[in-house]
Structures are given as C-alpha cells and as structure tokens.
Amino acid sequence: MGNTKNLSPLGLLSLATTGAALVSSKGSAGRLPALGWSSWNEYGCDINETVFLDTAHLLIDLGLKDLGYEYINIDDCWSDKEKRRDPVTNEIVVDAEKFPNGIDTLADRLHNLGLKIGIYSNAGTSTCGGFEASLGNEETDAATFAKWGIDYLKYDNCAVPEEWYDDWKYVPENWFGGGANENQDDGEPVNSKTDQPAPSGYDWATSNSAERFRRMRDALAAQEREVQFSLDWDMLEVGNGDLTLEESRSHFALWAALKSPLVIGTRLVDIKPEILAILANEELVAFNQDPTHPAEYWSGESVRGTHVFVLNTLEVAAKKEVAFGEVPGLDARRRYVVHDMWTGKDLGYFKGSFEIDVKAHDTAALRINEVGKCGGKHH
Ligand SMILES: *[C@@H]1O[C@H](CO)[C@@H](O)[C@H](O)[C@H]1NC(C)=O
C-alpha cells in the first residue's frame, strides 16, 4: 500500500486530471517528478542567458542542486518574434539579443555544471506570448531541441487553429475559475466546434487535442536524446506575490505529497531564508521523490460518509484490498455498506475489509458508511 493516505478527495481530483509527464523508454527521466526551476512566474519575457546562468549557480550555491533540483527551464519568449523560422532550415530562430551565444552553448554550460536544461513550445500556431510554436513542425522542433542538448520540453496549449478544434467542449468547466475552453490570455473561446459536452462514453484519446500533443510526444520519442515531455502541474508560486508563509507551505507540501513536479518559480537572487527553507525542505522533497510504488490508496470524509479511492498503477488488472482498520475514521470491527460511486450502486455489507478488482490504470471510487447510516442522497 502506498504511504500517502488521508488526503482530501479534492487533491485526488487534481491528481487524476492533470499530472502528465512522458516516461521515456530511453532512460530514467519522468519516472519521478521533475525537480527544477522555471523562468516564467518571476521573469516572464524578461529573460536572457545571464538569468539562467546566474540561477544555475545559485541553485548550486544554495544547496538546491544537492537536494535533486536539476532542470533550469527556459519558458516562453526565447525565440525571435519577427524572424520566426529560418527560411532554409525551418528551425525556430533564437532571440540573438537574449541568447547571444545560442541556446546550445547555454545547454553546454548548464550540463558542465551538472544540471539539465528545459525549453518551451506550444501545440498551436504560436505560443501564449505570441512567439513561434510547433504545431505542424513537431519533427523539426524536436530534432532542433535534441541537437541543442535540451532535456525537458514544456508544451503549452495556446493559439489552436480552427481546423484543429475538438468536436466537443471539454466539461466539467469552471474548475479553475473560468471556462475550460477559454484562452487564459484573451478570454476568447478556443478549441471546440460547439458548446456541447461530449456524449457519454466519448473517448478523448480520439480528439484533436490529444492528437496535437501525441505528435510532439512521438517526435521527441524519435530523437536519440532523452527529452522529458511536460504537460500541466507547471511551476510553483512559492515565494511569489501575496502568498503568506503558511500558504506557501501548503502549496509546497501538497504539491510534494501529490507527486507533482517541483519546479521553483521564484527569483533565487536575494531569496528570503524562510522561502528557501520551504523549497529546501529535505523531508518533503524526499517524499515527493520517493521511489517506492506510487500511492494508490486515498481517503477522506465528506458529508455523505468516508470515501476511499483505489488507483491501479499497474499495466494489468489487480485485486485490491481496502482494510477498514487502515482507513482513518473506519473501525476494523464494524460492519459497513460499501458503495460504488461510479455505478451508484451498493456493493454489499462487509466487515474487516473489502476486496475489489481494479482494471489497469483504473480507479475505484468507493463510499463507505456504517450500516443504517447511508449518506447518499438516493437512500
Ligand atoms: C538580463 O535579464 C535580467 C532580468 O530581466 C536583467 O536584469 C538584465 O539587465 C538582463 N541583462 C542583459 C545583458 O540584457
């Protein structure tokens, strides 16, 4: 059994719907959450070679590299916004003022410091900042990134052309305070032909969105170099804006516990000691990086009862046991009604424990109530 327990169902919701990193067949990248630093949250487009080299040295001097932080990630705005692509090679043209020695030279320098380098592109016609992006040029760009020595690609989702719109609107919406279908920057609806949600049973793996991201996944996988492909659970805000110290701790602790990449998003120059102490907490980073089998059991209370979620991370179906004595709030000696939240049906009365067959990569969603105290609205 995994050692992450008793997190709220809300945490699971985020885990199940967002985290995604390509586990490369070549080596070890992506098998554990990435640890690193990204320029976007604090520098935005005001980046240059010096920012990344200075940050790399600070990552080392502050002891963060020793804790495992290794990626120095260039976010949006690294290319030449006017020239876009080289007319001969079709490669994206690097901004020569920001990176006078080229990104390949920066990659060499970071590698010489024992670090890795990330870059940014987008599955549309331009990046969220309006720079050149990779849709339709996936093979060229993956080859260019590999040639430069890039180790990590963050792949964004702006400027989707109409011919790539999905047939259906992605629902549920408003999870993040706005329509899931709206471009964060300009509020324009993007990405679907209709406002209609997909019919039940629709396979999103057949959508245009899935295909746009698969194309870059395949292009990266075709390179000899191992490049980690990063979608969602982006970078941390710890140390930024108006977050209180307590909010920064909550942010870091839960991202660590839910096995998100921990990509620092704050300025390391003059970092406050109390912020560094959060990012450099050895025990939390170690928990995030724990190599044992990922957490598979989650539980939490709601007004309807005690909920248990059981994830099967294996490639094959598995029988999973929920031992009531191990679930906070339940008692090994009591009899319970186990209810399947997917089918809406009760599975029967059980004492001590409950066993369920979970298909490969599926998650059982259960509600467990004391006999006679059903929390469901249907009872
Ligand atoms: C590099 O960027 C930093 C941060 O935006 C800025 O302070 C610095 O002046 C820039 N350096 C050069 C040489 O442009």
74 shares its domain with 129:
yes
Q: Which amino acid is at 340?
A: D
88 shares its domain with 229:
yes
The upper half-sphere exposure of residue 60, i.e. CA atoms within 13 Å in the direction of its Cβ, equals: 12
**Token code pair at residue 221:** 């996988």
- Bond from prior residue into 199 cis (ω within 30 degrees of 0): no
- Domain of residue 154 covers 8-286
Sheet strand arrangement including 116-122? 20-21, 228-231, 152-156, 116-122, 71-73, 35-38, 262-264
Strands (DSSP E) found in 188-317 = 228-231, 262-264, 297-302, 305-311
Q: What percent of the chain has pLDDT over 90?
A: 74
- How many domains are there within the chain? 2
Ligand 1 pocket test, candidate residues 47, 48, 53, 54, most atoms within 8 A of CB: 48
Assess whether pLDDT exceeds 90 at residue 376. no
Coil, strand, or helix at residue 353? strand
257 shares its domain with 323:
no
Q: Report the distance separating Cα 360 and Cα 304, nearest Å.
A: 28
Nearest CA to ligand 1 atom 1: 48
169 shares its domain with 111:
yes
Q: Say what the pLDDT of residue 9 is.
A: 32
66 shares its domain with 124:
yes
Ligand 1 pocket test, candidate residues 46, 49, 52, most atoms within 8 A of CB: 46
Q: Say what the pLDDT of residue 6 is.
A: 33
- Please give the number of the atom of ligand 1 that sits closest to the Cα of 43: 5
Q: Which one has a higher pLDDT value, 337 or 174?
A: 337
pLDDT tens, residue by residue, 212-240:
999 999 999 999 999 999 998 899 999 99
Pocket (CB within 6 angstroms of ligand 1): 43, 46, 48, 50-51
245 shares its domain with 333:
no
pLDDT band at 191 (very low <50, low <70, confident <90, very high): confident
> Do 226 and 22 contact (CB within 8 A), yes or no?
no
137 shares its domain with 223:
yes
| Entry field: residues in the chain | 379
**Token code pair at residue 193:** 């032909």
Supply the angle between the helices 49-61 and 102-112 in degrees, to the nearest 10: 10
Q: Is 349 left (phi over 0), alpha (psi -120 to 50) or beta?
A: beta
145 shares its domain with 173:
yes
pLDDT band at 25 (very low <50, low <70, confident <90, very high): low
For residue 118, the CA-to-ligand 1 centroid distance in Å is 19
